[in-house]
Amino acid sequence: MSFELLFTEEARKNLRSLESELPQKAGKVKKALAYLEKNPRHPGLATHEYTSLSSILKRRVFEAYLENKTPGAYRIFWYYGPGKKQITIFAITRHP
């Protein structure tokens, strides 16, 4: 099952910023996005619901890992929709 990835303006800015400032991180983002497109539950993504955002946005928001056990690791925040077989990338950001 394959999904179409859609990006909010915020997520587009996040990705463009990484491409210009941290090209290696941008490469990891693109690899993770390819996994997400094919299988949101890919084990390498360690996808799980991010409940604090889910309650704010009134929809199930998920967090996918680019890196694990890495200081300043990046995460992709996303949700299903708006249509079937679509995933919206909400943000790509450094994990605190």
Among residues 96, 60, 94, 76, the alpha carbon closest in space to that of 11 is found at 76
pLDDT tens for 36-72 read 999 999 999 999 999 998 998 899 999 999 887 777 7
Residue 56, number of CB atoms within 10 A of its CB: 10
Please, which pLDDT band fits residue 95 given cuts at 50, 70 and 90? confident
The domain segmentation of the chain, as residue ranges, is 4-94
CATH class in words for 4-94: alpha beta
C-beta separation of 5 from 85 below 8 A: no
d(CA 63, CA 70): 16
